[in-house]
Amino acid sequence: MSFSKLCNKIFSECTIYYHSIDNVDARPIIPFKEGTIEFSLYTKNWIDAVQWHLEDIIRDPNINPVSALEIKRRIDKSNQDRTDLVEMIDSYFLEKYKNVQPQPDATINTESPAWAIDRLSILALKIYHMEQEVMRKDVSEEHQQKCQKKLSILLEQKIDLSIAIDQLLNDINQGKKYMKVYRQMKMYNDPSLNPVLYGQKS
């Protein structure tokens, strides 16, 4: 099984599992051993699914401002957790290909494998929700047709992105490309780098 097929299988299963519970406060039962790449992929999609629905909730025009602030803080933490997990997945690839000798003309990719996989996880959620829109019975036929066209584009994007990920990993394995990971040095969550936070220490 190619790595993209593994990702798509796990992302689809996790997305369906989340929506069988449909609760942003739920704790998932992850069917993989902790420390495996499968565990990380499943966790990644779960974080994305929860954040997707938090983003929906916070856009309620009648939301209580206090609740909105609490959710905004949850979304900030979720973004940090997501970034940390993407970097963990990239560390898996760095370890896997550490003994590959890059060819003299090897090139660097515009994004690391894990950030491409991040987009594949989000695509799984987009496809799921667009499928739900296509199947809605309380909307016009025009709405369904528009959503069907969007769904077709998303499915095509999934195929293209999956192929690109497998090609990238194959090129890294053959030394045609090399990995160079720049950690996402987010500053707003760091009390020593966010002036609003470190300014409160005095």
Structure tokens given for 146: 């528009």
Name every residue whose Cβ is closer than 8 Å to that of residue 6 and which is 6 or more positions away in sequence: 38, 41
pTM: 0.89
Label residue 18 exposed, middle or buried (CB < 10 Å: 0-12, 13-18, 19+).
Answer: buried
> What pLDDT, on the 0 to 100 scale, is given for residue 59?
94
Condensed to tens digits (0 to 9), the pLDDT of residues 177-189 reads 998 877 665 656 6
Cβ contact 119:168 at 8 Å? no
Condensed to tens digits (0 to 9), the pLDDT of residues 139-162 reads 999 999 999 999 999 999 999 999
Mean pLDDT of all residues in 109-120: 95
> What pLDDT, on the 0 to 100 scale, is given for residue 181?
76
Which one, of 3, 73, 75, 17, lies nearest residue 45 by Cα?
17
